[in-house]
Amino acid sequence: MDEIILLKLGELVLKGLNRRTFEDRLIANARRRLQAHGKFKVYTKQSTMYVEPQDDSCDLDGAWEAMRRLFGVVGLSRARACAKDADIMLATAIEYLGDRLSAARTFKVESRRADKTFPMTSIQLSQYVGGELDEKYPNLKVDVRHPELTVYLEVRDYAAYVHADPEPGAGGLPVGVGGRAVSLLSGGIDSPVASWMIAKRGIALDMVHFFSYPYTSEEAKQKVLDLAKILTPWCGRLTVHVVPFTAIQEELRRRCPEELFTVLMRRFMMRIAEKVAQRCGAGALVTGESLGQVASQTLDAMRATTAVTSLPILRPVVGMDKEEIIRVARRIGTFETSILPYEDCCTVFTPRHPRLHPMPGELEAAEAALDVDGLVAAAVDGIERVRV
């Protein structure tokens, strides 16, 4: 039988009566990600999901990379299926893992007998196969506590499976089981990380990007679309709502106190993002705000921006420092794109001395000089939607 991929499920197995809903969503997400790599059969059994190629044209390497980024999976292994016979499992281990067995110095065999009709216990199977491998490979010593290589034997309903140490998966919950949110995506480091973290908790995302042409360039816009493209293997299909923001920023510069510019700008962003959320059926907004990192991210400033929307604002990186955020950005592949030197709308008309702690009422007083509803409506009407 051919090589397959085994996916170990995480939190899904604890969901009780709702577990089937979570598994169905995970299977649907997996099938969609696998379409580009050939025809695969995907199903779950006994807390394991099986990804079986259906013909020789399937790209198993591509499928493996796609499954590594599938939220809801805590571990994955490439495995060889074989008949449920101890000698055949031994022969399969020698054939399939021979190079790794020859290179290792210590090993152990770990067996799991999900099919209780199999005549040997898990311990007996491990002892038999481990003993034979120990004799065949003089370089190996048994180490049951800290082995360099672990050979796994799984006896399940349909077949037995032989594989080595599994790799960690993406974890989290399947995208879509937690509803939908709108994430404010800039060209910086923080917002892609925040989007990834909230998608990991099962939230499907739409993206909003505020574009201030000609103060920000087409290259800056493309950078954001590239970030969204990097996120799609994790988050699934994305739509980026590109909001024309120039008119609002110019109106703020003309009519409002300079020191309030940054917080007033953020309030407009929240109003517009809420309108997008209403169109998308989203139940929350997501930002990359980290407490105290910049002038608009003090506690008072965040309270002021939250006040203009009735939707909850999810801030998954709010308690992380920059180094922690950068580590995640490197892991998910967004960091190198985020640091490309293209300007962002947040840097347009930056005040020399931004107000860190806006006073109650002064923002509303400043906005009284503006046609807030008209500016928001014009921006929403001008949105460009880009499907990534």
Residue 157 pLDDT exceeds 90: no
- Is residue 307 a contact partner of residue 165, using CB atoms and an 8 Å limit? no
Place of tokens 């649907």: 28
Nearby residues of 216 by Cβ (< 8 Å), 6 or more positions away: 342, 343, 344, 345, 348
Its pTM stands at: 0.91
Given this model, what pLDDT does residue 350 score? 79
Q: Cα–Cα distance between 37 and 87 in angstroms, integer?
A: 33
Q: Which two tokens stand for residue 299?
A: 């506690």
| Mean per-residue pLDDT over the chain, rounded | 94
Q: What percent of the chain has pLDDT over 70?
A: 100
- Is residue 224 a contact partner of residue 212, using CB atoms and an 8 Å limit? no
Residues 254-277 have pLDDT tens digits of 999 999 999 999 999 999 999 999
- Does the domain formed by 180-387 have CATH 3.10.450.350? no
Given this model, what pLDDT does residue 165 score? 84
Residue 372 pLDDT exceeds 90: yes
- Is residue 70 a contact partner of residue 167, using CB atoms and an 8 Å limit? no
- Is residue 375 a contact partner of residue 268, using CB atoms and an 8 Å limit? yes
* Rounded average pLDDT over 147-172: 94
Task: Tell me the three-class secondary structure of the chain, residue by residue.
Answer: CCEEEEEEECHHHHCHHHHHHHHHHHHHHHHHHHHHHCCEEEEEECCEEEEEECCCCCCHHHHHHHHHCCCCEEEEEEEEEECCCHHHHHHHHHHHHHHHHHHCCEEEEEEEECCCCCCCCHHHHHHHHHHHHHHHCCCCEECCCCCCEEEEEEECCCCEEEECCCEEEEECECCCCCCEEEEECCCCCHHHHHHHHHHCECCEEEEEEEECCCCCCHHHHHHHHHHHHHHHHHHCCCEEEEEECHHHHHHHHHHCCHHHHHHHHHHHHHHHHHHHHHHHCCCCEECCCCCCCCHHHCHHHHHHHHCCCCCCEECCCCCCCHHHHHHHHHHHCCHHHHCCCCCCHHHCCCCCCCCCCCCCCHHHHHHCCCCHHHHHHHHHHCCEEEEC
Q: Cα–Cα distance between 277 and 141 in angstroms, integer?
A: 59
Dihedral-angle region of residue 332 (phi above 0 means left; psi in -120 to 50 means alpha; beta otherwise): alpha
For strands 106-113 and 48-53, give the pairing: unpaired
Given this model, what pLDDT does residue 126 score? 97
Given this model, what pLDDT does residue 158 score? 83
Residue 15 pLDDT exceeds 90: no
User: What is the CATH code for 3-170?
Assistant: 3.30.2130.30
Given this model, what pLDDT does residue 334 score? 98
Residues 91-126 have pLDDT tens digits of 999 999 999 999 999 999 999 998 999 999 999 999
- Is residue 11 a contact partner of residue 30, using CB atoms and an 8 Å limit? no
Given this model, what pLDDT does residue 348 score? 72
Given this model, what pLDDT does residue 344 score? 76
What confidence category does residue 212 fall into, taking pLDDT thresholds of 50, 70 and 90? very high
Nearby residues of 73 by Cβ (< 8 Å), 6 or more positions away: 7, 8, 9, 10, 26, 49, 67, 169, 170, 171
Q: Considering only residues 17 and 223, tell me which one the structure prediction assigns the higher pLDDT.
A: 223
What confidence category does residue 352 fall into, taking pLDDT thresholds of 50, 70 and 90? confident
Residue 76 pLDDT exceeds 80: yes
The closest of 290, 224, 301 to 266, measured between CA atoms, is 301
Residue 1 pLDDT exceeds 60: no
Given this model, what pLDDT does residue 16 score? 81
The residues spanned by each domain of the chain are 3-170, 180-387
- Is residue 26 a contact partner of residue 51, using CB atoms and an 8 Å limit? no
Given this model, what pLDDT does residue 359 score? 84
**Max alpha carbon distance in the chain (Å)?**
85
* Rounded average pLDDT over 315-326: 97
* Rounded average pLDDT over 221-248: 96
What confidence category does residue 142 fall into, taking pLDDT thresholds of 50, 70 and 90? very high
* Rounded average pLDDT over 17-35: 94
